Structure 1
Amino acid sequence: MTAADGSRNAVCILPQLEGLGGPASFRSRLVAGFKARGVPVASHPNDPACGVILVIGGTRRIPDLLQARRRGLRIVQRLNGMNWIHRRRFTGIRHFLRSEANNFILAFIRRSIADRIVYQSNFARTWWQTVDRGVIAPGMVIYNGVDLNQFSMDGPQQLPQDHYRILLVEGHLGGGNEDGLRNGVALTNQLKGQMDRPVRLMVVGDVPQKLRTAFEQSHPGLVDWAGVVRRDDVPQIDRSAHVLFSADLNAACPNSVVEALACGLPVVSYATG
């Protein structure tokens, strides 16, 4: 993939994310945007055409980053928040160790490798600057964007007429993130006795079967499990609900929120400041 003139004009994006969740969604949209604008995307940091590496959060390929720095490549780190739930309540030994290891990688790249840091929001920047001070690399805030050609109020919808639908959209709900689902169920359960028609919670995303079963037993008939859906289906799902519940307590800049707002869907979240 070396440029014909020998220039290094390609961008390498690490890690190679696939599947569910905000980072993977962001990477796929970014790659599509680069290609639409004629910006080549390298698959490996050692590609001779690679001139800059974008690290989405963190990566375990620290040796590749250090080698790239020695070759004069610029490294940009895009930062969200950090793992914190495991420090507030017990989520299991494996989850605790994985969360601490990931936080260390995020902080090490930010402190010792990155030439520039892009924070997803002022909230994320303040969080990192409070917890991990002394970073020399300059930083800036770039909020998540949304494709208004895809996410808009115009388009097909199937808004239910016999009940109010609260929508919850997350990549994964489990492994320490169960509280968001619990709060969504509690909100729905509280509202169902106050409205003029039934209220149901529609959950879009990967939910462990054990967790589903527990909520079905404690709140039968309250939750509609949509499971994992294609990203192209999300706009219609947004337009087919009455309100979105943002389940992530400390979301730095959640994609599900900006996408819902673009579709005209009101959002309910936490008053955390």
Structure 2
Amino acid sequence: MKIGFPVKPEGRGGTRTWVKAFSNYCISKGHQVYFSKNEKVDIFITLAFYTTPDELKRMKQRNTKILYRMDGIYYNFLTDNRTTVRLNRLIADSMKLADRIIYQSDFSKVMASQLFNGQELPGIVIYNGADSNVFKEEGKTLPKPDDKKIILSIAYWGPELMAEYSIRNIINIAKEFSDRKDIEFWVLGEAYPHVEDILKKANLSNITRYNLRTPITRERMPEYIRTSDIILHTRPNDACSNLIIEAMNVGKPIVGLNLGSTPELLGDAGLRGECEPSFEHFPVINIKSMASQILKTFDNYEYYKEKIKERSKRFTLEQMCEKYFIEINKLVNN
């Protein structure tokens, strides 16, 4: 089978991470993979706003089946209205032209319905998965003080305003632990240079390691997750966080927000801080609630560690890819 993608797998962000993982799986199963919009393929998997309606129409004229992987949509509080309207129109048009839509979560369906006056376009949910040969409990770790517990926030931090929002909330959470000499925060991954300056100006002694100018490679990500004691996830409205799923597969307890897809992913295997959900502005996070959930996780550490390891069995790369191929085969064989 010939399978096409609109972007190459190299680069930052969850979209390209997914393309790399799934295209490698396709190749391992003997399929031909193309990172091009011009190649005649049996099925074309498009994502986000990477393909225009005219390009999709030309593919359909060549009898190519279109599968759209729905991530999220754009909001005015993230970018200017003109850009939001343009990108969301591309997403909506891609969804309408697709032969099959795959949502990353039930929350992803809710987000997408906003493009269609609250109506959900038919599609199925397939959660992301982590490569359990890479993201596993056993393996290399990094040096850290024996008497310290490490709370790790690590990501490609995304759009500028999103990165600022996430980092400011991490700073406020860290302030709640200023009197705890046994707890340290690490904040890593790539963001705009001035976002790291926000951390510098905060000048908190318990944020002991930070670098927002250097991306963390996929190969090194498991080392950082293994070294930490808790993963702190503060990005709101994620369709299906790769970090949460990767941390699960490493067996690391997670504290996140009680919104977006996080409740679906964690279930009862991880605690979530209270927040005020919104699609009109950045959600307001209850900082004290987040701090409380971190402390509860430390107090019941082995319990949540075992719960998250059990939960991770639902989110493996193999399972995800097999589910995608069930849908691909239905399309190609009809």
TM-score band w.r.t. shorter chain: 0.7 to 0.9
Distance 1:97 1:175 in 2: 17
Distance 1:98 1:223 in 2: 37
Give the number of aligned pairs: 255
RMSD of aligned alpha carbons = 2.2
Change (3 A) 1:41 1:135: farther
Change (3 A) 1:136 1:75: farther
Are 1:10 and 2:7 matched, yes or no? Answer: no
Segments of 5+ residues of structure 1 without an aligned counterpart are 1-8
Report what 1:64 is aligned to.
55
Distance 1:224 1:218 in 2: 13
Residue 198 of structure 1: how far off its partner (Å): 4.0
Report what 1:238 is aligned to.
225
Distance 2:153 2:174 in 1: 11
Residue identity opposite 1:33 in structure 2: Y
Question: Do the aligned partners of 2:52 and 2:94 also contact (CA within 8 Å) in 1?
Answer: no
Report what 1:265 is aligned to.
252
Distance 1:268 1:47 in 2: 44
SS of the residue 1:232 aligns to: coil
Distance 1:70 1:136 in 2: 26
Report what 1:187 is aligned to.
173
Residue identity opposite 2:242 in structure 1: N
Residue identity opposite 2:233 in structure 1: S
Distance 2:221 2:192 in 1: 21
Are 1:25 and 2:11 matched, yes or no? Answer: no
**Residues 180-207 of structure 1, C-alpha deviations (whole Å, 9 max, x = no match):** 11111211221232x3x34332222112
Report what 1:4 is aligned to.
none
SS of the residue 1:54 aligns to: strand
Please identify, of 181-190 and 166-175, the stretch whose mean Cα deviation from structure 2 is larger.
166-175
Change (3 A) 1:66 1:207: same
SS of the residue 2:67 aligns to: strand
Residue 57 of structure 1: how far off its partner (Å): 2.0
Distance 2:115 2:51 in 1: 21
Q: Which has the higher helix share?
A: 2
Q: TM-score, normalised by structure 2?
A: 0.70
Report what 2:331 is aligned to.
none
SS of the residue 1:201 aligns to: strand
Question: Do the aligned partners of 1:53 and 1:75 also contact (CA within 8 Å) in 2?
Answer: yes
Change (3 A) 1:204 1:100: farther
Question: Do the aligned partners of 1:192 and 1:198 also contact (CA within 8 Å) in 2?
Answer: no
Match of 2:100 among 111, 116, 119: 116
Report what 1:218 is aligned to.
202
Question: Do the aligned partners of 1:54 and 1:78 also contact (CA within 8 Å) in 2?
Answer: yes
Are 1:200 and 2:184 matched, yes or no? Answer: yes
Match of 1:228 among 206, 212, 215: 215
Question: Do the aligned partners of 1:115 and 1:138 also contact (CA within 8 Å) in 2?
Answer: no
Among all aligned residue pairs of Structure 1 and Structure 2, give the percentage whose two residues are the same amino acid. Answer: 22
Residue 17 of structure 1: how far off its partner (Å): 5.0
Report what 2:64 is aligned to.
73
Residue 136 of structure 1: how far off its partner (Å): 9.0
Please identify, of 31-40 and 131-140, the stretch whose mean Cα deviation from structure 2 is larger.
131-140
Change (3 A) 1:190 1:174: farther
Change (3 A) 1:265 1:59: same
**Residues 128-177 of structure 1, C-alpha deviations (whole Å, 9 max, x = no match):** 23542587964111110111111111112235424222111221355111
Report what 1:6 is aligned to.
none
Residue identity opposite 1:202 in structure 2: W
Distance 2:110 2:70 in 1: 12
Match of 1:107 among 75, 92, 112: 92
